[in-house]
Amino acid sequence: MGLCFSPIICVFKSCGQGQVYAGDPAQHYGQTPSPSKESLCWAINTFKAENHELRVLNAEMRMELAGKSISWELERQNLIDGKMHSLAMAKRDVDILVEAMEESAARERECEAKIEDMASTLRVKDELIVQSKEGLQRQEAESQRVEAKIRQSHIMRQATVTALEESLTAQRDASAKKMEELQQRLTETNEKLVIKQQASIAQVTRMEEEIRLLIQKNQELQVSVTAAHFDLNANLLACVKVDSDCRNLRRPLPFQELALMSDKDKARIQKEEEKSKKEAEKRLKNERRAKEEREKKERTDREEEEMKAVAAP
């Protein structure tokens, strides 16, 4: 594909002037005076001669351009490829800019929505502030009314407290007198309780002595096996009965008597009961151990006698 150049060079020489203009002489009509007829004829002839020269020059240039068209095509293709690459890069940049603008627009819309929400929230808060002010005014009026009521109630309470203090003083005097009476009754009850406890302790001691004598008598009567077993069972039954009687004697005192007893007396009675119980358990344990030892000894003696009888001729 060849390139065509048709340059037109117009030379205009006015009479009495030596100026040459390149290009369209009509561009200079406004700058020079209107030419005469002779000048126009001379200019036309000059244009024809120059146009002939230009056609010859154009033909030479066409031939020269025909030889360079291939390299020009390659350069043009390279230029086009470079331009296409530049256009692709520019399009990518434009797409990035469009995405950035869209994101910016989305953020702007989001900001506008947030601003609208904040404006709505501010309106709601303004309404709440107005309502709060009204509520505070009502609370202030209510507080003043309550303060007046509190002052009146304070006056009435003072009168009530004075009356209660007088009544409390009278009740305290009566309570002190009643406490003295109760203390006296408690002292008498404690004395009676001590007497009862001493009698109970003496009775328990006597019964324990009887139990000891019964156990001693039981040990003395265990000579023969049959009689010993019979007497032991009888004595054990007697011991169990006596122990039951002791428990009955050591039964807890009634609630009224315990209420009138001092903590020291209660602790002492409890300690004596525990001691008596441990002693009874210890005696029964010793009796069982003695019985087992006697049975073992009797069994050993019988075996020895049998062995002697077998060994005798």
pLDDT band at 13 (very low <50, low <70, confident <90, very high): very low
**Structure tokens of 153?**
């109630």
Buried b (16+ CB within 10 A) or exposed e, 210-226: ebeebbeebeeebeeee
Q: Considering the domain boundaries, does residue 11 fall inside one?
A: no
Q: Considering the domain boundaries, does residue 82 fall inside one?
A: no
- Which pLDDT belongs to residue 28? 44
Residue at 78: amino acid letter? N
- Which pLDDT belongs to residue 218? 61
pLDDT band at 31 (very low <50, low <70, confident <90, very high): very low
How far apart (Å, rounded) are the C-alpha atoms in residues 219 and 213? 10
Q: Considering the domain boundaries, does residue 51 fall inside one?
A: no
- Which pLDDT belongs to residue 5? 38
Q: Which of 49-58, 114-123, 199-208 has the lowest mean pLDDT?
A: 199-208
pLDDT digits (tens, 9 = 90+) for 124-137: 888 888 888 888 88
257 neighbors 189 (Cβ within 8 angstroms):
yes
Residue at 112: amino acid letter? E
Buried b (16+ CB within 10 A) or exposed e, 70-81: eeeeeeeeeeee
Average pLDDT, the chain: 73
- Which pLDDT belongs to residue 98? 85
Considering the chain, what percentage of its residues have pLDDT values greater than 70? 70
Q: Which of 45-49, 183-187, 209-213, 254-258 has the lowest mean pLDDT?
A: 254-258
How far apart (Å, rounded) are the C-alpha atoms in residues 3 and 51? 19
Using only C-alpha atoms, the chain has a radius of gyration, in whole angstroms, of: 71
Q: Considering the domain boundaries, does residue 305 fall inside one?
A: yes
Indicate yes or no: pTM above 0.85.
no
Distances (CA, A) of 92 to 81, 88, 96, 105: 16, 6, 6, 19
- Which pLDDT belongs to residue 241? 55
Number of domains the chain is built from: 1
- Which pLDDT belongs to residue 271? 80
13: Cα within 13 Å, side-chain hemisphere: 9
Buried b (16+ CB within 10 A) or exposed e, 186-199: eeeeeeebeeebee
Range of the domain at 244: 222-311
- Which pLDDT belongs to residue 242? 53
Q: Considering the domain boundaries, does residue 290 fall inside one?
A: yes
Residues 6+ apart with CB under 8 A from 5: 58, 61, 65
Q: Considering the domain boundaries, does residue 92 fall inside one?
A: no
- DSSP three-state, residue 90: helix
Q: Considering the domain boundaries, does residue 263 fall inside one?
A: yes
Which of the two residues, 122 and 217, has the higher pLDDT score?
122
How far apart (Å, rounded) are the C-alpha atoms in residues 9 and 121? 78
- Which pLDDT belongs to residue 11? 39
- Which pLDDT belongs to residue 55? 87
pLDDT digits (tens, 9 = 90+) for 197-212: 788 788 778 877 877 7
